[in-house]
Amino acid sequence: MADVEPVFAQLKHNHNFRRFSLKGIEKTELEFGLMAIAHNLRKKIAA
């Protein structure tokens, strides 16, 4: 089982992601999905 809290902390601290810039569920899901993809790509490149 994985702990997801460090991922949110890294997004907040390292990437200055404090709040969503778009309004609406669909748009915020898209925005967070892009942040998740960027996070996963950074992890993949570092490994």
39 near 7, Cβ under 8 Å? yes
Which pLDDT value is given to residue 6? 85
Place of tokens 């089982």: 1
31 near 22, Cβ under 8 Å? yes
Which pLDDT value is given to residue 18? 87
Tokens of 11: 């997004």
Residues in the chain with pLDDT values less than 50:
none
Domain ranges of the chain: 21-47
Which pLDDT value is given to residue 44? 94
| Closest-CA residue to 9 (of 1, 18, 33) | 18
Which pLDDT value is given to residue 30? 96
